[in-house]
Structure 1
C-alpha cells in the first residue's frame, strides 16, 4: 500500500510557504476608519451624487508626529453626463457607497517596510468627483443631480487637515496614484502654498504621468478625452495658472506641460510601459481590436506590437521633466500601473527594483536629500524583478 505521509508532508509544506508569502504581503496592511466631512456640504464640496467627501486618517507618532503624508485616491475620470451618471451611484461618485480601507505600502506603519514614512500622519483622500479634484460647476441640473465639485472637495479636505495640525508640518508629501497621481501634480504648488515656508514640502506622483500621445491609428484620442473632462467639470480655472498662461486648459491636464512650470520638487514613479496608458492611450478599443491579447498579457505581443511599445517608451521618456537635482524619477520597465500602495511593490522582498533600489528606498532617499534619484530602467524585458509586479 502506498505511503501517503511524504506526499502529505509536501502538501503541508507548500501550504505553509503559501501562507508565509501571503502574510508577508499583508502584514503591513492595517484598517483605517473613514471620516465623512459633513460640514463640507455648506461649501458645496460634495461628491458627484451630492454626498459629503471622505478621507481616512492615521495619526503620526514619535518622531513623525509633525510630518504629513496626504495620498489622493485614483480611479479614472468621467468626461460626459452619461459617464458621470454611471459613476454617481458607486464608490467612485458617492461616499455612501465607500467602505473601510486598509493602509499599506507608502501608507504602511511598519518601520522595517516603510522606514521613512511609517510614523507620519497619513491621510488617504477618497476620490468621488471624476476630475482629479479639479472640477467646479455651480449649477446643478435637476434632471441628473450631478455635482461637479472636485476642486471644492480638495480645498475642504485641506482646510480640515490644516486644522488637525498640518498647518504646523515640518515635513509634508502630497502623493497619489493614477488619477490621484495626476492630482498630486496639478495641486502640487497649491499644496506647497498652504504650508509653512520653513517646511520641507514635496510631491510624489505614482502612475500619474499621462502623456499626450497619438494612438496606434494616429488619432489624438487621449487629448480629446481629457478635453471633454475639463469641459464637463469646468476644470480650466482650477488648473495651474503657470501652465494655462501658456497652453490651453486641455494641454494643462497633461503633466508634460505642467511640470516644467512647477516650483515644488516632484518625484515621478511610472512604468515606461504603463498598463493603463498602453490600454487607453496607445491602443484604445476605438483604434484597434487586434491588441486585445497583447494588452492583457505583454508576453503575447507580436514583434510589431512590441516595436510599438518600445516606441511608446521612447516618447514617454522624451517628455519626462528635465534633470534638475530636485526632481526624482523611478521609471521602471514593468507592465504595471500604480506601485506605491502595496508592500509587495513598495519595498517587500522581491519587489520591483532598478539596480539595488526598491521604490520605497528611492522615494525616501529623494525626499530626505540623501542622494539624487533619477533612475530609468533598461528596455522590456530586461528587468527580472518585474515578474513580481502587481498590475493594479
Structure 2
C-alpha cells in the first residue's frame, strides 16, 4: 500500500495538477479544494494539498436540483437548474442550520462566461452528483465540534457573479441570475425546515465568502428576532489593492463582472450612493454597513490574491514574481516587504469592523486560501492557530458568544502553525 501511495504521489507531480488556480482564455479560476481521482483498486479518492483521503472517511452528500427555480428564472449561466447538497441535522442540532455558499471565481467577459457554461461553475449539468462534506460541513464531533449535528447545506455556485446578478445576455445565451438563485435556494430550504431554525449561520468560501457578505443581511431578515443568525466569510475579503506593476488587476476584473452583469442596480444602495459600483463589489467598502453579526476569516497573505490580484502574470511580463507567487519561501526581501504592505492594509481595514462586539475576526499570517472547508485547517490537532486558538474554536466562540473572537496574527514569519500552500504550474 505504501508503494501504491508513492506511485500516486509521483503521478500527481508528473502530470502537474494545479490545485490553486488555472487561467483559461484569460479567465481567473479558483482552485478546487479537493481533486478527485480513482485509485488503482477502483476506490474513489480525493486529495487536498497535504493529504489523500478515501471517500469513505467523509459523508458523501447528494445533489438536489431546485425544480421550482425554472419558473422563477433562477437558473445557471446556461439556463440549467441550480442546486444544493443537504445533510440533515440530528439530536440537539436538528433545528439549527448552516448554509455554505460555494466559491469558484468570476467571469468578467462574454467569452469567459460562455466558456464557464461548459463547467460546473456555470451549469448544473457538469456538477458532481455527490460531494464530500468536510471541515465545517463534517458530521463528526471530533472534526467539527460546534456544528457537526446541524442541518448543513452547500449551495452550488453557477452564476459567475457571487450570487448577485439579475440580468441576461440574450445574444450570448447567458443568464446572470445569481440573486434569483439565492432567493430560490432560500425559499426551498425554508420549506424544508429552516423556517423553524433556532440558530442559523450563513457561510461561504472565496467568491462564496464574498457572497456571504453580500447576502448576510438578506439572510438575517429571513428569521424572527428570536433566532440567532450570523454570517461567516472565509477568504472572501478581497482587497482593492495595488498590484506589482502599480495597477489594480482585481479592480479591472471586478469592473468587468459589474458591467457584464449590470450589478450597479443590485449592489448595496448605501454603498453605490457613496462610491462607484465597482468599488461596491469590494468587501472593504461593505463590511461596516452589514447589520447582522459577521465574522471575517482570512489569511493575511491570501494565496489567491497574491497569484491573481497582486502578482498575476499579466502584470509581471518579465516573470520576476514567478517563483515568489508560487512559493513564499522563494520570495526576495523586497517581495516580502511588498506582501507585508498588503497584510498591513488588510489589518487596518478590519480594525474598525472588529470594534463592535457582534463582529469577529481571525486573520492568520499564512499563505493560504479558504480554511473552513478543509479537514486539516478547520479542526485538527495541527490546525492553524492564533494565540493558541484554532479556527473552528474561534468561530464557535464567536457564534456562541464564549469570548475571544477577535484574533489578528503577528506578521510573517512569526506563525509556525500555518498550513502554507505551495503550488506549481
TM-score for the superposition, normalised by structure 1: 0.91
Q: Which residue matches 1:106?
A: 136
Give the CA deviation at 1:390: 5.0
Inter-partner Cα distance in structure 1 for 2:67 and 2:95: 26
Shift of 1:262: 1.0
Which of residues 139, 152, 163 is equivalent to 2:180? 152
Tell me which residue corresponds to 1:217. 245
Residue 365 (1) aligns with residue 397 (2): yes
1:87 aligns with 2:116: yes
Question: Do 1:345 and 1:390's aligned partners in 2 also have CA atoms closer than 8 Å?
Answer: no
State the partner residue of 1:311: 341
Are the counterparts in 1 of residues 354 and 406 from structure 2 also a CA contact under 8 Å? no
Deviation at 1:244?
2.2
Corresponding residue number in structure 2 for 1:297: 327
CA 1:286 to 1:141, structure 2 compared with 1: closer, same or farther past 3 Å? same
Residues 327 and 422, structure 2, Cα contact 8 Å, conserved in 1: no
Residue by residue, what CA displacement relative to the aligned partner does 1:94-147 show, whole Å, maximum 9, x if unpaired?
Answer: 10001121101000100122111000011000011100001111x4424x2111
- Answer yes or no: is 1:323 the counterpart of 2:351: no
* Helix, strand or coil at the partner of 1:91: coil
In structure 2, the residue matched to 1:208 is 236
How far the C-alpha of 1:363 sits from its partner, in A, is 0.3
Corresponding residue SS for 1:147? strand
In the alignment, the residues of structure 1 paired with residue 156 and residue 361 of structure 2 have an alpha-carbon distance, to the nearest angstrom, of: 26
Please provide the CA RMSD for this pair.
2.1
Partner residue in 2 for 1:122: 152
| Per-residue CA distance 1:45-103 (angstroms, 9 max, x = gap) | 11011100010001111111111100000000001101101111111111000112110
CA contact (8 A) 2:137 2:147 kept: yes
CA deviations over 1:2-29 (Å, ceiling 9, x no partner)? xxxxxxxxx89x99xx9xx968897762
Q: 1:229 to 1:336 in 2, by over 3 A?
A: same
Q: Which ranges of 4 or more aligned residues in structure 1 deviate by more than 6 Å?
A: 23-27
Worse overlay, 298-307 or 25-34: 25-34
Find 1:40's aligned residue among 63, 66, 69: 69
Does the 8 A contact of 2:354 with 2:361 survive in 1?
no
1:353 and 2:412 are equivalent in the alignment? no
Q: Which has the larger radius of gyration?
A: 1
Q: CA deviation at 1:333?
A: 0.7
Residue 230 of structure 1 and its aligned partner are, at CA, apart by: 1.0
Aligned to 2:286: 258
- What are the residue-to-residue correspondences of 1:152-301 with 2, within 5 Å? 152-288=180-316, 289-301=319-331
Q: CA deviation at 1:389?
A: 4.4
Q: Distance in 2 between matches of 1:172 and 1:391?
A: 35
Residues 179-236 of structure 1: per-residue CA shift (max 9 Å, x gap): 0000000110011011122110000000000011111111122222111101111222
Residue 246 (structure 1) shift: 2.3
**In 2, distance between residues paired with 1:391 and 1:242?**
40
Runs of at least 5 residues in structure 2 that lack an aligned partner in the other structure: 10-49
Q: 1:146-182, CA deviations, whole angstroms, 9 ceiling, x for partnerless residues?
A: 1111111111101111111111111110000000000
Tell me the SS of whatever aligns to 2:239. coil
User: TM-score, normalised to structure 2's length?
Assistant: 0.84
- Give how far 1:322 is off: 3.8
The residue matched to 1:71 in structure 2 has which SS? strand
Cα distance in 1 for residues equivalent to 2:55 and 2:143: 11
Aligned-partner SS, 1:123: strand
Match of 2:101 in 1: 72
In the alignment, the residues of structure 2 paired with residue 212 and residue 109 of structure 1 have an alpha-carbon distance, to the nearest angstrom, of: 37
Q: Kindly indicate whether the alpha-carbon contact (under 8 Å) linking 1:94 and 1:128 is maintained by their aligned counterparts in 2.
A: yes
Task: Considering fraction of residues, name the structure with more helix.
Answer: 1
Unaligned runs of 5+ in 1: 1-10
1:136 matched to 2:163? The reply is: no
- Name the structure where strand makes up a greater proportion of residues: 2
- C-alpha displacement of 1:31: 0.3
Cα deviation, residue 240, structure 1: 2.1
Aligned residues: 375
The answer on whether the counterparts of 1:366 and 1:373 sit within 8 Å (CA) in structure 2 is yes
Once the 2 structures are TM-superposed, how far is the Cα of residue 352 of structure 1 from its aligned partner? 1.0
